[in-house]
Amino acid sequence: MEKEQCSKQYHIAGDTSVRNRKTFQSSTTQSNVKKPNKGGHLTEEDTQQTNGSFCRNKRRSSTCDESTSRALLLLVAGLSFATRLYNIKEPPHVCWDETHFGKMGSYYINRTFFFDVHPPLGKMLIGLAGYMSGYDGSFAFSKPGDKYEHHNYWGMRGLCAGLGSFLPIFAYLTVLELSHSHTAALIAAWLLIFDTGCITISQYILLDPILLFFIMAAVLSMVKFNQQKDRPFSTPWWFWMILTGVNLAGALGVKFVGLFVILLVGLNTVSDLWRLLGDLDLSLVDVTKHLLARVVALILLPVFLYVTIFAVHFAVLNKSGPGDGFFSSAFQSRLIGNNLHNASMPEYLAYGSTITLKNLRIAGGYLHSHWHLYPEGVGAKQQQVTAYLHKDYNNLWFVHRHNETNSQSETPDLVRHGDIIRLEHKETTRNLHSHLHDAPLTRKHFQVTGYGINHTGDSNDLWRVEVSGGHKGDPVKVLRSKVRFLHKTIGCVLFSSGKTLPKWGWEQVEVTCSPYLKETPSSQWNIEDHVNAKLPNISLSVLKPHFLEILMESHIVMIRGNSGLKPKDNEVNSKPWHWPINYQGLRFSGVNETEYRVYLLGNPVVWWVNLASLGLYTILAAIASITFQRGISVAQRRQDHCFVLMRGGGLLFLGWLLHYLPFYTMARVLYYHHYFPAMLFSSMLTGITLDFLLNMADLLLHPPYCEWLQRVGKMLLLVIVLYSFYLFHPLTYGMTGPLAHEPGSSMAGLKWMESWEF
């Protein structure tokens, strides 16, 4: 029976009205009891007085509760906006990644195409904010430290600071919904308001505050939706579920890290549907309706919005720019100003054609050669063949049959899948050649050179053409076909390694012949420029890819770009285990005493309290779970606190895990700021955990002392966080003068960890 009671209470713990009603009934029983008449019953007058007193108490308590919540929310909002908007124009120069995302905002204003490894929504919003605030997109954002001078950069910074200001507000509302405790909500918000790291990362033109805004908005919307479970298909029910879907699209539209909050909402939805399936009061038709509603609001709507973001992105960025080379030739043909835009050329490759070959790897380059030879000790001392990232006359090649120099027919034959061809460099007349000498940089690959002269060579100049997905006899299409070139003698495949050659190779990209025949972008090429006077030309407009092809290609390029972000020598990066302990910060600006220095570092008290709370939570949640599993009798009030800890805290703990643990599996370069989504969940969990501990104080002390301890504990925590913020705020708002280790520095004695580099 005790287990049954615990189970019932577990399901209603999140229902405020149930818990409040019990509290009011208990209060009424104790304070409003009336003496019975001689018959042992209350008189009608007494009953009316009792009921009236209960209603007045309920209304008074509800009004007081709403008033307190409103006052605390205004306090949180005021402090949050004040701390983030303060000194927003300082420093008046480019800081850290503003050089990337400010520049990308300019590209949107100028409608110039660019490439980035993240989805476009964050940059689009930055560009829109700049445009609305009068910025004309003319600032170069060349490097950190460049002065903004007369350019209106404050609008873009203001957008990021404004969205970052909502994070403590969302944290307060989320924790209040999960715990129904103003103390827990205020602690969570307080930790974020006065965290130096959260303020710093919100004050600059970065994607992080935009991403964090959508993540927190999605979590709040999900929690609000969960509270509507007793009012299915009502207007609030639909509103919060649809808003959750909108915020999920927003999070994913800024960075792929948004997938983690999508997974959190997905797990919550599966749990909710499982609960509904076990409700025998609902028919299978009702359960199906619930399922379909969630599919529409949490899957189809976010997908539609996400695709719409890219549609706007491609429509706005319609001019040729620095991102062209990362995409296929077919993609480039749609960009105004690109040499392929509105151009005309023969549709199919033929013998006797002059072509350029573009590798499909990101920054794979164009097949290129020049008069320079490989140096002594680097394979055979023959003519260099490389991949060059820019359009150049030395990228041109003639296509010949393997047994003739030129085609003499009026209508040249088409090159088809399986044909053996010879590629002759137009400028030097050398043939594309490979042999069993080692490649310059890539081990186990073979060297590719230019060999022969005046149309002469040997059998190592012959290559078999293979069209990806093609069959014997299929023609090779310009722009569209993905082509591989297999060496006839060795059996290796023409390959762009992506490695940069030394100065003797003019720092161009290495080209090899790879013995590994698996199809990869590095071994695939497409024909970009194509000249053949004997073939009719067609407009490339007919070869332009459709929107879905563009969408697919852009995601492939972004995924490859992310996987290619490897740590470089002497580059400042960090490891995931560094992050929760605040081991190392990140320099945003300035390196010496004459410069305006900004350093991204979390408030040590906040981060270390969060770290301790993570450990405390796992212990307390385990104890609470064992208690309920064993059916141990617990007072109703303590049961409610335990359920909040397990349900509300469990959701936040899961959010922290999902936004933190995946980074241990990533091979890409990682930075300190990648932890901030997880840090938000950790701070909210701290609010619930510390509130639980304060409410359990009566286990040790009698009521008068217990209440005193709770008040002192709350005030002590808030004051310590505030004082720590006072000590470390120069890191956020900037500092000049002596460095931390020098006499007279405002940060003297505050380098609590040797790894801090401020």
The predicted-structure confidence for 178-207, as pLDDT tens digits, reads as follows 999 999 999 999 999 999 999 999 999 999
Q: What residue has token string 């350093």?
A: 599
Cα separation, 331 vs 120, whole angstroms: 17
| 46 has a pLDDT exceeding 60 | no
Task: Give the Cα separation of 452 and 128 in Å (integer).
Answer: 56
Most confident region among 229-233, 332-336, 708-712, 741-745 by mean pLDDT: 229-233
Average pLDDT rounded to a whole number, residues 27-47 = 42
Which pLDDT belongs to residue 572? Answer: 59
- DSSP per residue over 494-522, as a string? EEEEEEEP-GGGTT-EEEEEES--S--GG
Phi, psi of 502 (to 5 degrees): -65, -175
Please compute the mean of the pLDDT values over residues 731-756 and round it to a whole number. Answer: 78
**DSSP calls for 533-591:** TTS-EEEGGGGPPPHHHHHHHHHHHHHHHHHT----TT-----GGGTTTT---EEEE--
Tokens of 258: 């948004």
pLDDT tens per residue across span 525-570: 999 889 999 999 888 777 778 899 899 989 988 887 887 677 665 5
Cα–Cα distance for residue pair 639/251, rounded to 1 Å: 36
Q: Where is average pLDDT lowest: 103-117, 194-208, 524-538, 741-755?
A: 741-755
The domain boundary, picked from 16, 33, 64, lies at 64
CA 385-388-390 angle, to 5 degrees, is 150
Number of compact structural domains in the chain: 2
Distant-in-sequence, close-in-space partners of 72: CB < 8 Å, separation ≥ 6: 172, 182, 185, 186
Q: What's the confidence (pLDDT) of residue 29? A: 39
Task: State mean pLDDT over 50-78.
Answer: 68
Phi and psi at 532, nearest 5°, equal -155, 105
CA distances to 355, 470, 522, 622, 658 from 643, rounded to whole Å, are 70, 61, 55, 12, 22
Span 654-677, mean pLDDT?
92
Least confident of 105-114, 205-214, 336-345, 678-687: 336-345
Report CA-CA distances (Å) from 349 to 50, 160, 345, 352, 474. 94, 50, 10, 9, 11
**In terms of residue numbers, what domain contains 18?**
2-64
Is 640 a domain residue?
no
pLDDT over threshold 70, residue 313 = yes
pLDDT of amino acid 375:
94
**Contact (CB, 8 A) for 220 and 59:** no
Read off the pLDDT of residues 481-522 as tens digits, 9 standing for 90 and up: 999 999 999 999 999 998 889 889 988 999 999 999 999 989
Q: Using the predicted structure, report yes or no on whether residue 50 has a pLDDT greater than 70.
A: no
How far is Cα 649 from Cα 684, in angstroms, rounded to an integer?
Answer: 8
Q: Residue 450 to residues 396, 422, 453, 506: CA-CA distances in angstroms?
A: 13, 12, 9, 16
Q: Phi/psi of residue 217, each to 5°? A: -65, -40
- Identify any residues that bridge with 386 across adjacent strands, giving them in sequence order: 368, 510
Asked if the structure places residue 122 within a domain, the reply is: no
In this structure, what is the dihedral angle of CA atoms 211, 212, 214, 217, given to the nearest 10 degrees? Answer: 180
528, 547, 577 - which closes a domain = 528
Band (16; pLDDT cuts 50, 70, 90): very low
> What is the rounded average pLDDT of the residues 607-611?
96
- Looking at the predicted structure, is the pLDDT value of residue 15 above 70? no
pLDDT value at 279 more than 50: yes
Can you tell me the mean pLDDT for 198-220? 96
Domain final residue, candidates 47, 64, 81 = 64
The answer to whether the beta carbons of residues 512 and 448 sit under 8 Å apart is yes
**Measured CA distances, 516 to 442, 471, 519 (Å):** 12, 21, 9
Q: Report yes or no on 713 lying in a domain.
A: no
User: Please, which pLDDT band fits residue 118 given cuts at 50, 70 and 90?
Assistant: very high
- Spell out the residues 6+ positions from residue 10 whose beta carbon is closer than 8 angstroms to its own: 628, 643, 647
Look at the chain and count its residues: 758
Contact yes or no for 419/465 (Cβ under 8 A): yes
pLDDT band at 634 (very low <50, low <70, confident <90, very high): low
Distance of CA 661 to the CA centre of its chain: 15
Q: Which residue has the higher pLDDT, 599 or 408?
A: 599
State CA 158 to chain mean position distance. Answer: 21
Confidence (pLDDT) at 743: 67
Please state, in angstroms and rounded to a whole number, the distance separating the CA atoms of residues 149 and 347.
Answer: 51
Give every CB contact of residue 744 below 8 A, 6+ residues apart in sequence. Answer: 737, 738
DSSP codes of every residue in 278-295: T-TTS-HHHHHHHHHHHH
The maximal CA–CA distance of the chain, rounded, in angstroms, is 127
Instruction: State the pLDDT at residue 93.
Output: 92
Q: In angstroms, rounded to a whole number, what is the distance separating the alpha carbons of residues 82 and 78?
A: 6
| Contact in structure between 159 and 127 (CB atoms under 8 Å) | no
pLDDT for res 569? 52
Residue 698 confidence (pLDDT)? 64
Cα 139 to chain center, whole Å?
26
Residue 27 lies in a domain: yes
Is the bond leading into 91 cis (omega within 30 degrees of zero)?
A: yes
Q: What is the number of H-type helices and E-type strands within the chain?
A: 20, 16
Inform me whether the pLDDT recorded for 80 exceeds 70. yes
User: Percent of the chain scored above 90 by pLDDT?
Assistant: 60
With respect to residue 714, please indicate whether it lies within any of the assigned structural domains: no
pTM of the full structure: 0.83
Residue 587 located in a structural domain:
no
Does the structure show a pLDDT above 90 at 632? no
Q: Is 15 a domain residue?
A: yes
User: What is the token pair recorded at 244?
Assistant: 């959750």
pLDDT greater than 70 at residue 27: no
Residue 36: inside a domain, yes or no?
A: yes
Strand boundaries in 348-430, DSSP class E: 354-359, 366-373, 383-388, 397-401, 420-425
Tokens (6 digits) for 506? 């003019």
Give the integer Cα–Cα distance in Å for 397 and 428.
10
Name beta bridge partners: 319: 112, 336
- Do residues 537 and 485 lie in contact, with contact meaning Cβ atoms separated by under 8 Å? no
CA–CA separation, 123 vs 196, rounded Å? Answer: 24
Confidence of residue 636 (pLDDT cuts 50, 70, 90): low
pLDDT at 541: 77
Q: How confident is the model at residue 52 (pLDDT cuts 50, 70, 90)?
A: very low
Q: Are strands 493-500 and 509-514 parallel, antiparallel or unpaired?
A: antiparallel
CATH number at residue 436: 2.80.10.50
User: CB of 336 within 8 A of CB of 283?
Assistant: no
* Closest to 106 in 3D by CA, of 133, 131, 134: 131
19 in helix, strand or coil? helix
The per-residue pLDDT for 58 is 44
Residue 377's region, left for phi above 0, alpha for psi from -120 to 50, else beta, is left
Position 740 confidence tier, pLDDT thresholds 50, 70, 90: low
- Is the pLDDT at 637 greater than 70? The verdict is no
Mean of all residue pLDDT scores within the chain: 86
Beta bridge partners of 512: 447, 495
Q: Which residue did the predictor score with more confidence, 706 or 155?
A: 155
Phi, psi of 385, deg, nearest 5: -125, 125
Residue 452 has phi, psi (to 5 degrees) of 85, 175
User: Judging by DSSP bridges, how do beta strands 354-359 and 483-487 pair with one another?
Assistant: unpaired
Percent of the chain with pLDDT over 70: 86
Give the pLDDT score at 261: 97
